[in-house]
A and B are shown apart, each in its own frame.
Chain A
Amino acid sequence: MIDYFLSAFNDVFTVKMFAYIALGVSIGYLVGALPGMNRATAIALLIPFTFEMPALIAISFLIGVNKGGAAGSAVSAILINVPGEPSSVVTTIDGYPMTLQGKSQKALKVALYASVIGDVLATIALIVLALPLAKLAVGLGPIEISSILIFAITFIAAVSGRSFYKGIISGLFGLLLAAIGLDLETGLPRLTFGFVELYDGIPLLAVAIGTLALSEVLVQIDNAWRGHYAHKVNQIKAPSDDASRLSMREFVGLLPAMLKGTFVGIVIGILPGLGATLASFLGYAWVKKSSKHPEAFGKGAPEGVAASESADNASVPATLVPVFAIGLPGSVATALLMGAFMMHGLTPGPFLFRDNNELVYGIFLGMIVASFMLLLVGIIGQRFFSRVISVGDTVILPVIVFLCFVGAYLEGGGLFGVYLMIVFAVVGYFMKKYDYSFVTFVVGYVLGPMTELSVRQALIISDANPATLLNHPVAIVFLLLAVFSVWRFSAGNRLKLPN
């Protein structure tokens, strides 16, 4: 492993690479800080701008956006009590009371350090875990892969959103859209309705930008109608210097909370579909339960901010473990990153280590650089980001509409891709309004071609005989897990987040 890192060292430690990672982290931080916009949206909008970049720089840049977004979401959660992303909802519980006590700077520092610690440790966990898991995954055949994919989509449908049926419908809808294009075997058009532009399938970015970014803008405008577009930042003066400073002693005191949050973030992040929001809730709940002063939580306890932010950021690199190991995205952001891998000619999964070893370790090194860049950008730019969130949505949202146009246009579909994006924005709007899981939808869409290929291969190998499954215990386990997910979650016994 050390050899691979050394060979990737020269590619990563360049001014250009550092500049792009810094840019990615800064953009992510900014987008994360803006209420309502999230890192998945930023990734979808920025993928077209990476087409001209080498794969290593492009992927590291996008991962930087992902990491920055997770950390930046704490800014608005702490300062204006509006989380930049759902995963920072928990940060508002103690972060905002700290602001009301004049300790906003201290809260921001706690959030930043917790984010960086969670991020660094989870990146190390990714590096340690990905290769052994990928080695295991290399031995899996089409039958096992089919069953893993069926389980993944079922499980994500089960745990995301409020209704299992809506989740699975969304996933199936994603799979159906992915079936548009040329048939794998015959090479003849399938569901293309005479549009030559659809022969390569529906462009990923038209789907992603439409359902994530543009639909989110429509929802934001809709929700905040009647002039509630401005965010007021509380400017409560710190009662003393100590209220703004975070001493070394305080930092050391917060370390156990950060480590607990990180542990939860890593475990939850690896499991597909559970996401950063659940991680930050569980991290917070664990730290509160094990605290000597649980009554202080909710009234401005720095431990609460540390736990939720470390869990949130730790889940970001952890969600990449299944991507590198078996090519399985567990969240919208990782599904988009997987799409970016493919657009740069890389196939995520175990063979990535075999075919592009140096690149993989280059990405790992880039992720470590991004972790430290997160600290740097946070320290230097936190005051700037704090000011930016007070810019009204009437300025930001229309510009995002234009960026959506550019993003969909640049993917190569031209205006056809742009009009498709508008169609998917309408679909995404109703999905969001009526609680159809767009996480399962996007994951289903990204996994569609792989699912079809492996199912076809599995049927040919097994001669469509179910008895063949008896020779594939791994496949049986995952199919049973899929059945368990359906039984467990369709009965209405869904995972419930703490109040």
Chain B
Amino acid sequence: MRRADVVGSLLLLTLSLLMLLVVIPSEVSDGQWYGLSPYAYPNTICGALAIFSVLLLAQAIFKKNHYEVEQKKILSLFQVFIFVLLVAVITFGVWLISVLGVLIGGPILIASVALIMGERRFWILLLSSVLPVLVIYGLAIYVLKTPLP
């Protein structure tokens, strides 16, 4: 966890400095204002974010006894692989829904995630992917009167 905090605080520090020096000056529109400059509020937050990132970094470096309990590795390479695979499958599933519609894309999304999790029983896969989609689709269309893709 200690190494993770060092990396995390450095990433956060980079993010807050990037916000302060690049993003906020270019992505906040100037205009007529009376009380507080449009830059002031996001600048204050990012400034505070930078300060606390430095404090977290200092804690991770100088207060080693703070980390005695948790030294184990949080994420293994295998876990990162599974995580990336899942996010990719979910993103692909959402794209598929946007192209083919929820009635086709929905069951594929559910079945894909279930397959990754190791579910191989055909009937369970079929029922658990088709039934919820039909129920939710009916609920959205006929009860909420909101169209789904």
Interface residues of A (CB under 8 A from B): 49, 51-52, 163, 165-166, 168-169, 172-173, 175-176, 179, 183, 185-193, 214, 218, 221-222, 225, 227, 229, 392-395, 397-399, 401-403, 405-406, 409-410, 415, 418-419, 422, 425-426, 429, 433-436, 452, 455-457, 459-460, 490, 492
Contact = CB atoms under 8 A, between A and B. Distances in A.
A324 B108 CA distance: 43
Interface size bracket, B side = 35 or more
Contact of B31 (A186, A415, A492): A186
Nearest to A192: B27
Contacts of A52: 143-146
Contact of B1 (A175, A392, A405, A434): A434
Task: Give the dominant DSSP class at B's interface.
Answer: helix
A218 B87 contact: yes
B99 to A, nearest CB: 11
Given A398-B129, A409-B148, A163 B56 contact: yes
Contact of B110 (A221, A399, A459): A399
Given A186-B29, A398-B119, 14 more contacts: A52-B143, A52-B144, A172-B45, A179-B42, A218-B87, A222-B82, A222-B83, A395-B128, A397-B117, A398-B113, A419-B94, A422-B91, A452-B41, A455-B41
A212 to B, nearest CB: 15
B128 A398 contact: yes
Contact of B94 (A179, A222, A415, A435): A415
A191 B25 CA distance: 10
B132 to A, nearest CB: 5
Contacts of A176: 19, 42, 45-46, 49
Contacts of B63: 492
A193 B27 contact: yes
Nearest to A399: B132
Contact of B87 (A392, A402, A422, A452): A422
B74 interface: yes
A416 to B, nearest CB: 11
Interface string B75-91: 10001001100110011
A456 B146 CA distance: 38
B148 A169 contact: no
Interface in B25-44: 27-36, 38, 41-42
Contacts of A163: 5, 56, 59
Contacts of B53: 169
B64 to A, nearest CB: 12
A229 B117 CA distance: 8
Nearest to A226: B118
Nearest to A214: B90
Contacts of B111: 398
Which 10 A-B residue pairings sit nearest by Cβ, starting from the closest? A186-B31, A188-B29, A394-B119, A398-B113, A165-B56, A460-B35, A398-B110, A398-B114, A183-B38, A185-B33
A340 to B, nearest CB: 15
A403 B91 contact: no
A420 B114 CA distance: 23
A221 B148 contact: no
Nearest to B48: A172
Interface centre among B1, B113, B133, by most chain A C-beta atoms within 10 angstroms, is B113
Contacts of A395: 114, 119, 124, 128
A30 B90 CA distance: 25
Given A49-B144, A183-B28, A415-B94, A456 B36 contact: yes
A418 B97 CA distance: 11
Contacts of B31: 183, 185-188
Contact of B29 (A190, A392, A393): A190
Nearest to A53: B144
B63 to A, nearest CB: 7
B18 to A, nearest CB: 12
Interface in B91-149: 91, 93-94, 97-98, 102, 106, 109-114, 116-119, 124, 128-129, 132-133, 136, 139-140, 143-146, 148-149
A475 B133 CA distance: 52
B10 interface: no
A415 B98 contact: yes
A490 B56 CA distance: 10
A406 B140 contact: yes
A375 to B, nearest CB: 28
A199 to B, nearest CB: 12
Contact of A185 (B24, B35, B129, B133): B35
